[in-house]
Amino acid sequence: MTTVSSAGTLPGLVVAGFGRHCLVETPDGQRLICHPRGKKSQAVVGDRVQWLPSQDEGTVEKVEPRSNLFYRQDEMRTKSFAANLDQVLILIAAEPEFSESQLTRALIAAEAERITPIIALNKSDLAEPFGRAWAKLAPYRAMGYQVLPLAIKPKTDAPVANDTQYQQLLALLQAKKTLVLGPSGAGKSSLTNLLVPNAQVLTAEISQALNSGKHTTTSTTLYWIDAERASALIDSPGFQEFGLHHIDPMHLANYMPDLKVHAQDCKFYNCTHLHEPGCSVISQVKTGASPHEISASRYRLYSELFAELSQPARY
């Protein structure tokens, strides 16, 4: 039996994932379906891989080391969203009302992998609910997150101040790989269609290629938003039930910037910020005394998550 030398492999980028199989894009822009070689070479969207041609398809021989891997983990399984990301755009909207718990979970997952999160609040044309949602995000702006108002597909014909907002969004996405996450109805497909006019064609092409085989439907897709293939949008489902089981509860406060600034002043170095005397976090929960106070809802989310992550695994 001959051992295939790694010298014969070709470089590629994973641009779509479906089950254990993926779509690989070559440096000249060709796309082909690749299958994993054994269990070890499990590639996800954003991965740089080395592959070998086999008929009109390919085999992933090697996944290059990743700079990061954005994932969620619940009791049953781990689900990878994408690898080698520059940032995560969390798209929420004035309507339907967003869940602060989901938002916080996504932010913590990004912080844990050192990926910059950006929050975009869509539907700024809906003045009243937008005002409410914008106010609800005040603590997030105060803790340093960028919160971008957007009107991706405004209902009214009345002019909305979305032109500069849109330009701002484009500037943020420039030369970056951005994973877009958001609850259903926030405007994720509207955003993809706006930035990638041929997104539906691409999706149809992928489905067609898959239907000829016996693969499952695609879950995560990378779309280039510029001709140079430098800026990419990665669309992924799975914002609901954002499990954080991979995170040590003792590290949780580190991934919440509003708690983190105070955690270093606690009396005990291993303070859980739940009940200890001399806890700086507890003393800053909505005191009204400091611009850096911690909102009551954020602290509640912290204590709930701490309890959730402290539970022994049930298998």
Ligand X SMILES: Nc1nc2c(ncn2[C@@H]2O[C@H](COP(=O)(O)OP(=O)(O)OP(=O)(O)O)[C@@H](O)[C@H]2O)c(=O)[nH]1
Chain residues binding Zn ion by CB under 5 A are 266, 271, 273, 279, 281
Q: Confirm or reject binding of residue 238 to ligand X (CB under 6 A).
A: no
The listed partner (Zn ion, ligand X, none) that binds 151, CB under 5 to 8 Å by sort, is ligand X
123 labelled binding-site residue: yes
- Work out whether 217 is an interface residue with ligand X (CB under 6 A): no
Q: What CA–CA distance (Å, rounded) separates 43 from 303?
A: 35
Q: Does 90 bind ligand X (CB under 6 A)?
A: no
Element (H, E) at 282: helix 280-283
Residue 189 CB, shortest distance to ligand X, in Å, is 3
Q: Is 149 in the site for ligand X (CB under 6 A)?
A: no
The single-letter DSSP state of residue 244 is B
Residues 61 and 37: beta-carbon distance below 8 Å:
yes
C-alpha triplet 247, 175, 116: angle, nearest 5°:
25
Cα distance between residue 259 and residue 218, in whole Å: 38
Q: Which of 36, 58, 182, 243 binds ligand X (CB under 6 A)?
A: 182
- Total length of the chain: 315
Task: Answer for the pair 108, 77: CB distance below 8 angstroms, yes or no.
Answer: no
Nearest to 123 by CA among 168, 184, 185: 185
Buried b / exposed e over 34-48, threshold 16 CB at 10 Å, is bbbeeeebebbbbbb
Map the footprint of ligand X across residues 186-215, applying CB under 6 A.
186-190
Least distance to ligand X, CB of residue 206, Å: 17
Residue 26 or 189: which CB sits closer to ligand X? 189
Decide whether 97 or 304 has the Cβ nearer to ligand X. 97
Q: Which amino acid is at 237?
A: P
Nearest-approach distance from CB 56 to ligand X, in angstroms: 32
Q: Determine the residue type at 65.
A: P
Beta-carbon contacts of residue 291 (< 8 Å; ≥ 6 apart): 142
**Stretch binding ligand X (CB under 6 A), from 77-85, 150-158, 167-175, 288-296:** 150-158
Residues 95 and 130: their CA atoms lie apart, in Å, by: 8
103/304 Cα distance (integer angstroms): 14
Partner whose binding site includes residue 271, from Zn ion, ligand X, none (CB under 5 to 8 Å by kind): Zn ion
189 binding partner (options Zn ion, ligand X, none; Cβ < 5 to 8 Å by kind): ligand X
273 is in an annotated binding site: yes
Binding mask 100-139 for ligand X (x = CB under 6 A): ----------------------xx-xx-------------
Report the binding-site residues for GTP: 122-125, 182-190
Tell me the binding residues for Zn(2+): 266, 271, 273, 279
Which residues contact ligand X by CB under 6 A?
122-123, 125-126, 151-155, 182, 184-190
**Residues flagged as binding site:** 122-125, 182-190, 266, 271, 273, 279
